[in-house]
Amino acid sequence: MPELKSVGQLGVLVHLCRGEEGELHLVMDDVASSLQKPGCWERVRLFTEKEMNEDLFMSMKLTDAQLADIGTMLVARLVAFAKQSKSG
């Protein structure tokens, strides 16, 4: 497989967190390519978070609409970063 090159210096990290009462949250953070550590990424800011039903999430039984919402949020952010990279 050929080596891939990042389109820009910004990206999205998607991960799970627990709230204060143990609820599950899907979190998307903006990240930037590290200048000090090439190939590493550093958190810049929270992009969005969404509380998830843990049973449905962990059994992969989210609705098509829920999955589409997650995908749309992620792709929209990456498109915005790609456009920003192209113009700047």
Those residues with Cβ within 8 angstroms of residue 27's Cβ, 6 or more apart along the chain or in another chain = 14, 15, 16, 17, 46, 48, 49
Residue 13 and residue 46 in contact, taking contact as beta carbons nearer than 8 Å: no
The whole-angstrom separation of Cα 35 and Cα 17 is 27
**Pair type for strands 41-52 and 10-18:** unpaired
* Per-residue pLDDT in tens (0 to 9) along the chain, 88 residues: 788 777 789 999 999 999 999 999 999 999 999 888 888 999 999 999 999 999 999 999 999 999 999 999 999 999 999 998 887 6
- What confidence score (pLDDT) does residue 71 get? 97
Domains in the chain: boundaries: 10-87
pTM: 0.84
What does the pLDDT read at residue 55?
Answer: 95
pLDDT for res 88: 63
Q: What is the pLDDT of residue 20?
A: 92
